[in-house]
Amino acid sequence: MLDFSSLLLAAALSGTCLAVTMFAIWLTAPRARFVLTVACGILVLVAHVILFWRYTKGPDPLLCQIALALLSLGFLIICLSAMQYLGVPDYRRAVLPTLVAMAICAAVT
């Protein structure tokens, strides 16, 4: 039986492997810049998972805020990579609402 900590660390390990794979794909096709952006977003989400794992071991309000900010930032980077892939030029449509949501989460927590 797996416990919660093991599942979080397994998710972090698999996310790291996926990010390294995406980086290797980008090295073979550097013109596809969105693949590098996806890899960076996944690495930010891996950092979130590791910080959340650390938060479950010893809760700390600052650690909680950092983990929440990394979660929003990771999904924002993945959203920006989708916008890169689709050729959507206006990144402000995704960045501004995310920054507002991050500020609200920081104020509430």
pLDDT tens for the 109 residues of the chain, in order = 678 888 999 999 999 999 999 999 999 998 999 999 999 999 999 999 999 999 999 999 899 999 999 999 999 999 999 999 999 989 999 999 999 999 998 888 8
Per-residue confidence (pLDDT) for residue 4, from 0 to 100 = 86
Per-residue confidence (pLDDT) for residue 108, from 0 to 100 = 87
Q: What is the CA radius of gyration of the chain?
A: 15
Per-residue confidence (pLDDT) for residue 5, from 0 to 100 = 87
Helix (H) or strand (E) holding 41: helix 33-57
Report how far residue 65's alpha carbon sits from residue 103's, in angstroms, rounded to the nearest whole number: 10
* pTM, rounded to two decimals: 0.91
Per-residue confidence (pLDDT) for residue 1, from 0 to 100 = 63
Per-residue confidence (pLDDT) for residue 21, from 0 to 100 = 96
> Around Cβ 8, how many Cβ atoms within 10 Å?
17
Per-residue confidence (pLDDT) for residue 49, from 0 to 100 = 96
